[in-house]
Structure 1
Amino acid sequence: MGDEHGPRRSEQDDPLGAEWDRHRPAVFGVAYRLLGSVADAEDVTQDVWLRAAGADLQDIGDLRAWLVTVAARRSYDILKSARFRRETYVGPWLPEPLLTGPDAAQPVLVDESVSSAMLLIMEELSPPERVAFVLHDVFGLEFGRIAEVLDVSVPGARQLASRARRRVAKAKEATPQASRAERERVLAVFRAAYEAGDLAGLVRLLHPDAVYVTDGGGKALAARKLIHGG
């Protein structure tokens, strides 16, 4: 039997079938971090499955690194074209929240690098910088593989990752984040106020300089202008 993520076969039938479930979160994870879209990440994951199913994997020493590299190369191609599409995007662009997609029930590599704030920061990076940063700083791939994906020299790949790292750090300094404990506390209070219908309590939790941004993708109604204030 098969599903949208690739058929599930026994280890005796196909060694890849036994390894796919273990490595799929990394494949989806790198695509989502690069593209900020659950749908695009799912498409890349399916492409990687098809590529792997038709490849001779016997000589591949590190299957995870190979799969992640294939996913990154495909995502890089999409990312370059997506940059052009977003130039004519209707309204502001926001990354698609991870839990809205069909992968919500699947194990996915989740950390700070998939937060909306981080994805918005990475949106300011050039496609090569973004790929180098995600592959090296998040997935720990060596610069030799990254250089192959980006078609640059190893020193060039190293420089791209370093430049991206500095830009990410600068953006984080400009928008300091609360601690995880503080975020969880505020979310608990927010949920309690929401469930109690306490509108005034919800407003009190918002920063006076908060900005409300909506993204309808040109398909749904959205505020055309930014809304400022709690």
Structure 2
Amino acid sequence: MKQIFAYESVEDHNRYEEITKQLMNSLTSYEKLLMEKFSLNEKPKGIVWTTKELATTVFSNVPIPAFTNRDLIYISPDLKEWKELFINQLAGRNLPHISEYYQSINFKEILTILGHELTHHIDLFVDDFDDDRDEAIWFEEGMCEFLPRKFMLSDEEFDKITNIEQQLVETFKNQYGNHSLEEFGAMSYEGSLTSIMYDYWRSFLAVKKLVEEAGGNVLKVFERYHEWHQSGRGVTLTEFFNIDL
């Protein structure tokens, strides 16, 4: 993958040069894993390193500075800005232990986000970037959260972020939990940062549950997902998996 630097100043490039090198080097083993086990047959052409401002106002209007399309991954490598985003998603709630967690995150958090965007490119997902379908987006987004966390984090780190997001779902359930996971789609991004992230938390936890029910075998979960698709999608994927979060 090519590296493309989209900054407004040389100072920005210099400021992020070291962390982008670290991220690219650390992504290599995960990229290899996806190629060997999860059908990453065609990688994106490149990664566009940019700032949060450019990512969310010029390249996109979504308030999250990481996204992908068929050809390119766009992401901000600014750890400070990611910390601020994660604190902002708490919407002023008094959650000191969660706030402390997000204040202490390191480059591995950005690495798993980068891994999330790369995971969108595996061919195990049945819908392509150009498809108009908006069904079962929760499954793809949840799996893109699950896989990099599972394979890039230690067991302790994985359990910690799982517990954090379980607590966040419980915290915001009364406010944002009155819709099905099946509604995760384009309309999701028109809400607040917290409402957007709420569906990511739920999707990750749903996929984690499916993997656990499959005895830890991620490919078995994909096999069931393909069964749903090949059978004509007669019911929603949440109904097919009998999952409710």
| TM-score tier (shorter) | 0.3 to 0.5
**Structure showing greater Rg:** 1
Q: Which has the higher strand share?
A: 2
TM-score for both structures, normalised by structure 1: 0.36
